[in-house]
Structure 1
Amino acid sequence: MSDLRARAIALYDAFTHDHRDRRAFMAEMVALAGSAAAAEALIAGIAASPAAAQQIAPTDPRLDTAKRSGTEAGKPATAYFAAPKDMKRPLPIVLVIHENRGLNAHIEDVARRVGLAGFRAIAPDFLAPQGGTPTDEDRARVLIGTIDYDLALAQAKSFLTKARGERGGTRTGAVGFCWGGAFVNRLAVADPALTAGVSYYGPAPDPAEAGKVRAALMLQLAEKDARVNATALPWGEALRKAGKDATTHVYPGVDHAFNNDTSAMRYDAAAAKLAWERTTTFLHRELDAKRG
């Protein structure tokens, strides 16, 4: 079963990240699983489930939450906001960057976790210029592939610039997952004002870009995620050689998306818990005492 599971995850990863045809993907899964029903069961265990329970309820009384729309960098923008209720002092700001499925219920849940950890969370929808994240995840992944990356970076920087000016000029961080992990790496290259970033299993820029980074970075990687590690591990090494504050954690025996608790087959509770503890400790270390 472990070999079947590994091969199924590899097929699903190729489908969701390499923009492969769904019909061809299903044919391969049926051939692997032995029947259409078995293939559907495998996919259900690997794919994120919109019906999965959320860790923090949207109505949690400890938080102020809202989804707001407007304009950033001259284009439509939407973001989900979460922060501790009745803040007694300015809190650090953390962008929460979505996966290749866009801003969905899971990422909003992660933003609430960030809020309860003692930050002001902002989770942008980088598909807002294209009408917003659709409910069809296949459609969302197609749209992600058409994003104007320069515009997305400009919108991220605009969100952060506005947030810095709202409550005492606190410094800013970012945490992102999959597509969002890659985005955190690129934001660190593009925005010298970013203080700290955490990239979960995100493909990395050219190592030659490491010298442009001013933020402290933490890379959270899965041992079995060869596709991402092929760029992320050299990126971490290049950052350290360039004298940057960079830490790489590789979690043994886990797959890409190990933090996503809506994906039953890939989620790893122990690795996710340890990675989250490291993430929040790192962000507090970098942001709490560095208010500007």
Structure 2
Amino acid sequence: MTKRTETVRVPDGEFSLHVWLPEKGAGPGILLIQEIFGVGDYMAAVAEDLTALGYVVAAPDMFWRLERDWSVEHSETMMAEAGDKVSRFDWAKGPDDLEAALDRLRGLPEVSGGVGALGFCFGGTLAFLLAARASAKLDAVVSFYGSRVSDSLDRAGDVTVPIQFHFGGSDPFIPRDEVAEVERAFAGRDNVEFHVQEDGGHAFHNRTAPMFHQPEPAARAWALTEDFLARRLPVS
């Protein structure tokens, strides 16, 4: 897996876009949207999984307005620092940055075929918001346990791209009734898939964080993700 860093320029600055290439060097693109701990080991691990499937993966530095290229280990000690970053995140400008990163990914010479987005936690919310504002630019979106999705369900009607939601039924940060709200908002939509791992807590997919990782729900959810991407964003 080859990795490099590109630059995304926006009207008031620029930020890093971390790019990983599959073995064959080209393929459909996936915008990988970080969780609260930054673009660190976990995002690199997910990128490795996706490049193994044949995708070009790009992860933007979403906290650049607060601190450039910031990432920390997954630990109780760092939870407060990561939470502080999210509390100061600019939810007005952040989605603009994300769409700029999507456009940069679409323009990479190695990207052939469609383009999708996949986000976890903080990034799961951003993946949903990106789907709501830029469905025409996307072929598939996957949102893992986005903690603010239920706060933005007024945007549900704007999501026309195929989207797959994942939640944990035992997530202490996203109450089960909020998960049900999201499910009801998208009920009966042909472009929406909804999966709840009832035994899954928050960030259950994160295999680099012993404090979160739950192998069984993680494996089930990732198998569903791979199947969804194979159908909606196929690698030729």
TM range (shorter): 0.7 to 0.9
Match of 1:113 in 2: 49
Answer yes or no: is the 8 Å Cα contact 2:23–2:51 preserved in 1.
no
* More divergent stretch after superposition (136-145 vs 190-199): 136-145
Rounded to whole Å, the distance in 2 between the matches of 1:215 and 1:230 is: 25
Residues paired across the two proteins, number: 225
Q: 1:140 to 1:264 in 2, by over 3 A?
A: closer
1:99 is the counterpart of 2:40: no
Once the two structures are superposed, residues 112-170 of structure 1 have per-residue CA deviations (whole angstroms, 9 ceiling, x without a partner) of 22111211111111011222215483333312221112322112211222322334663
User: For 2:103 and 2:8, how far apart are their aligned partners in 1?
Assistant: 15
Match of 2:58 in 1: 122
Q: Which residue of 2 aligns with 1:202?
A: 146
Larger Rg: 1
Distance 2:223 2:11 in 1: 34
1:4-83 to 2 correspondence within 5 Å? 63-83=1-21
Q: Output the amino acid matched with 2:125.
A: A
More deviation, 270-279/71-80: 71-80
Distance 1:191 1:214 in 2: 9
- Helix, strand or coil at the partner of 1:171: strand
User: Where in structure 2 are the equivalents of 1:1-292 lying within 5 Å?
Assistant: 63-87=1-25, 90-132=26-68, 133-135=70-72, 137=78, 138-167=80-109, 170-192=113-135, 193-203=137-147, 204=149, 205-225=151-171, 227-228=173-174, 229-241=176-188, 243-288=189-234
The amino acid that maps onto 2:89 is: I
Contact 1:181 1:198 in 2 (8 A): yes
Greater percentage in strand: 2
Normalising to structure 2: TM-score of the pair? 0.85
The Cα shift of 1:250 comes to: 1.1
> What CA deviation, in whole Å up to 9, does each residue of 1:226-267 have, x standing for no partner?
5424333322321234x3411111113221111111332431
Larger RCO (alpha carbons 8 Å, 6+ apart): 2
SS in 2 for 1:110: helix
Rounded to whole Å, the distance in 2 between the matches of 1:254 and 1:277 is: 15
Q: What amino acid does structure 2 have at the position aligned with 1:176?
A: G
Whole-angstrom distance in 2 between the partners of 1:74 and 1:111: 28
Structure 1 residues 191 and 128: CA distance shift in structure 2, 3 A: same
| TM-score normalised by the chain length of structure 1 | 0.70
Spell out structure 1 runs of 4+ moving beyond 4 A.
Answer: none
- In structure 2, C-alpha distance between the alignment counterparts of 1:68 and 1:82, rounded to whole Å: 11
RMSD over aligned Cα atoms: 2.3
Shift of 1:216: 1.0
Evaluate the alpha carbon distance shift between residue 260 and residue 73 of structure 1 in structure 2; reply closer, same or farther with a 3 A threshold. farther
The CA deviation string for residues 65-114 of structure 1, in whole angstroms up to 9 with x for no partner, is 12334524542211221121333xx5111111111122222212212221
Counterpart of 1:258, as a letter, is: F
What SS does the aligned partner of 1:150 have? coil
Query: Does structure 1 retain, via aligned residues, the 8 Å contact 2:34–2:59?
Result: yes
Runs of 5+ consecutive residues of structure 2 not aligned to the other structure? none
User: Measured at CA, do residues 134 and 163 of structure 1 come closer, stay the same or move farther in structure 2, by a change above 3 Å?
Assistant: closer
Q: 1:278 to 1:161 in 2, by over 3 A?
A: same
Aligned equivalents of 1:114, 1:72: Cα separation in 2: 27
